[in-house]
Structure 1
């Protein structure tokens, strides 16, 4: 069967389509700068031609060390047009950490934000291009012609590096097909499309941050770049740009709550969707009150699996504490330690299968095999419970379950109750070594007002089984988090390691 050229899905597709259909519509806003679809299409083509003229080809890797700024979408689209692979790099990393990613990915070039040149490894052998005058001349000197390099939609468009919570980061191979289908599903679920406006709040180097920001330019909407998160800056941007849909992580909501006694009216905003970490029930109830009339979605997923489930607004209060049903095209399997499916209401490890799954870990077939099944399911690494209506609740990470005196304690059970105490702003519960019990339950918490440990203990004992009540309570000024907003529990354990 003949296969017409260009029929495969690629992440450059939307830019090409809307560059021709709506060339004068604003695709990206960044402060006082605007980039319209016609210019986005042309500039991404110039970038593709510039790289091809330098001899790049055949899925060569190009790293991008950059924060949220106007150039991010055009670089991603340009690499896709050239048939090259994007390697997004966390702007917070040090030069040695950046060096590991560049070497492990085999990146032959690095495009870098001028504010981040200090993180460039001194021994990097590839070409370095700094965004600014050098970058602009590079584009100006290139042909404004789309090269239309053939790309198989199942090939990776990027290698996204995980946070490296256990050893070195792993490079997640994400295909064009995976993300293109994610963008279309995003348009279906949250209306991201022509005439809609959204904001890139989460960092675009991260899987979710990229997916929910780039979905806008893929689907003909407008995305505004938030360079760094400040509660007042976000709300000002929503008002100024008339944003309708905004993706946040729970930490963002917590910071807005701390900054404002009352959130100002945001008449354009109709949709909020949360991801990256569980949204505590107490905080979610505040979101409902602070943003009246706004539909609140709670998503669950990972870089490796994409979006797995979504709790939609009609069930947001009724099923608070869950992450909803499996997302479009997604199958889930909840199994016990022996690999057999568990009954509704029983905890088990969640596996998912969908078109959004990663291709595997770059250069690490052993790690890929360890997290996948022969029939194509991928483990989430999470313990969940599915109720009799099919709603999924995340109990905890498999690795975070505390075994104390031979009994399993799921930290989230304790955290949800501790967060209902009026003195507690944030908390994290971890297991630490104990000679008698194997592990003891320890609570780290950020306080709104000072309160004695015995007061917290009495509060929890009235609401939890005794074996779940922490043996120790440690106040901290802030909980350590990565850029995606996830609490780094390993760092908390290290604070008091003997």
Structure 2
């Protein structure tokens, strides 16, 4: 693996840390999980199939699959992989959006003892080739819509087998219609040639005819190489062991279980891509743990279609990012969605803006419950209590068995209420970066905490508030400006739909604050918005320039990419 971490601090050092957040825990939530009982993701899945066999595990395009059916399909995938020579620990890439085949492929790889390498389907050939080559992936499951990308990149990889998946796989007769629309109505499949590729249907047929050989998967085996950092530099694979991710599933369950209720028909809106760590853990793996159903949204950018799907279901759980909640809250027809059974809506991945949270509650009656995590932490570190009445503006409290420490640039803990880098220790923290011991060493403190790169403050009651990413901070004449704060203020203006703030070089002040805004009200002017900002921000924080745009650059998860804005400005000269 070649991914090392510094030796952890003695238990006594951790025990000496103050943990004010424990006083704010609801009575039913334990301070720790029993780490001795953390098993593997295979254990979680097999238990789900055994306990919840007749319950729905996934729902896609109106077709439902039970846990028993998912179990059989995943075993067929696993058996086929073994027949192709997959050995324990071999890497298998998944390049799929949220289609019905995804969970079957995911659990099939894990059952066979393989390591999952999630790949963003919207990657360019260059990005794709880098990731699968860096991971050393032998096999790939890819949606046919992205076959042209794979064809272009294939000579640069060491892939031995490519499996072509269609959006309609596992959907029965309806699948033929879904594929017809994808190929010939929406013309989503570009021409490509992969003569040695096999179909997912043939994989299931061949796999079902073979006997699955048992594999002794252990908690210390690698479950995922979850690539991260692609928006800030060369993507690195976070090595997530079975025990890391399984522990985070149990941590999330401990935090949420008292609020789930005894019902056995939970439906989680899975609009976040399952190849993203947030969607993967909270939607796929946590649902397996509690026997819930994933409502798979293959294309959440199709807001009209998304709303139509929501109108046909009585959803109980939801996860999303700020931009997704914003788009849904303003979408025509959202008022016809039945939110009466919604237990909670959690948000992460990026800062949730107060204006968006306010609109969401007006529409649904439920506050947005913000949390925080990273690929390197499997991902959840902190979350707000699920019984809040109003949006808090913080990321809440560290989960059970999670330690946080706010540290100075020199690595020393800072007093409560002071800004510093958020550092994290817990069973969910990765084993290191794949084949990058130098990067691993830089990411860890000498006493075993992971350095998140986020600026935060610890409040007296143990809540954590993120101020910003360290690298996104803007320095104006010696004063620190945090883009999240400025964006939050701009988003409160009734004429603003979205805003992104970056710092650009300035010969007088070092940097100036620049805002890029998507208008809700076409008549909104830059001067009117600047005047609004002046009413809410200190002078040096007010954007010197405001530019209006139709859209903002975003990742496939919906996170606004400030880096792309900076690059566009730089290229424009």
The alignment's TM-score, normalised by the length of structure 1, stands at 0.93
Distance 1:410 1:189, change over 3 A: same
Matched, 1:129 2:199: no
Matched, 1:369 2:369: no
Matched ranges for 1:252-271 at <5 A: 252-260=324-332, 263-264=335-336, 265-271=338-344
Superposition deviation, residue 8 in structure 1: 6.9
Instruction: Give the SS at the match of 1:38.
Output: helix
Distance 1:114 1:437, change over 3 A: same
Matched ranges for 1:98-497 at <5 A: 98-120=128-150, 121-123=153-155, 124-125=157-158, 126-131=160-165, 134-142=199-207, 143=209, 145-191=211-257, 194-214=264-284, 215-229=286-300, 230-260=302-332, 263-264=335-336, 265-292=338-365, 294=366, 296-305=368-377, 306-315=379-388, 317=390, 320-449=392-521, 450-497=523-570
- Aligned equivalents of 1:348 and 1:22: distance in 2? 45
Q: Is the 8 A contact 1:297 1:316 kept in 2?
A: no
Q: Is the 8 A contact 1:25 1:37 kept in 2?
A: yes
Between the two proteins, the alignment pairs up a number of residues equal to: 490
What is residue 23 of structure 2 aligned with on the other side?
none
Instruction: Give the SS at the match of 1:141.
Output: helix
- The structure with the largest helix share of the pair is 2
Q: Is the 8 A contact 2:406 2:421 kept in 1?
A: yes
- Aligned equivalents of 1:262 and 1:67: distance in 2? 24
Superposition deviation, residue 333 in structure 1: 0.4
Instruction: Give the SS at the match of 1:323.
Output: coil
- Aligned equivalents of 1:51 and 1:403: distance in 2? 53
Distance 1:8 1:181, change over 3 A: closer
- Aligned equivalents of 2:268 and 2:71: distance in 1? 20
- Which deviations, in whole Å up to 9, do the C-alpha atoms of 1:147-196 show, x marking residues without a partner? 33112212221111125122221111112112222223333334468432
Distance 1:261 1:219, change over 3 A: closer
Instruction: Give the SS at the match of 2:514.
Output: strand
Superposition deviation, residue 483 in structure 1: 1.3
Superposition deviation, residue 104 in structure 1: 0.6
- Which deviations, in whole Å up to 9, do the C-alpha atoms of 1:27-71 show, x marking residues without a partner? 112124332222221221222121112211030111111111111
Superposition deviation, residue 22 in structure 1: 3.4
- Aligned equivalents of 1:373 and 1:492: distance in 2? 32
What is residue 4 of structure 2 aligned with on the other side?
none
Specify which structure has the bigger relative contact order, considering alpha-carbon pairs within 8 angstroms and separated by 6 or more residues. 2
Instruction: Give the SS at the match of 1:370.
Output: helix
Instruction: Give the SS at the match of 1:496.
Output: helix
- Aligned equivalents of 1:437 and 1:295: distance in 2? 40
Instruction: Give the SS at the match of 2:107.
Output: helix
Superposition deviation, residue 13 in structure 1: 2.0
The alignment's TM-score, normalised by the length of structure 2, stands at 0.81
Cα RMSD of the aligned pairs, angstroms, is: 2.1
Q: Is the 8 A contact 1:301 1:309 kept in 2?
A: yes
- Aligned equivalents of 2:202 and 2:525: distance in 1? 62
Superposition deviation, residue 457 in structure 1: 2.5
Distance 1:467 1:322, change over 3 A: same
What is residue 14 of structure 2 aligned with on the other side?
none
Matched, 1:25 2:55: yes
- Aligned equivalents of 2:304 and 2:320: distance in 1? 14
Instruction: Give the SS at the match of 1:62.
Output: strand
Distance 1:98 1:139, change over 3 A: same
Q: Is the 8 A contact 1:190 1:271 kept in 2?
A: no
Moved more, 115-124 or 88-97: 115-124
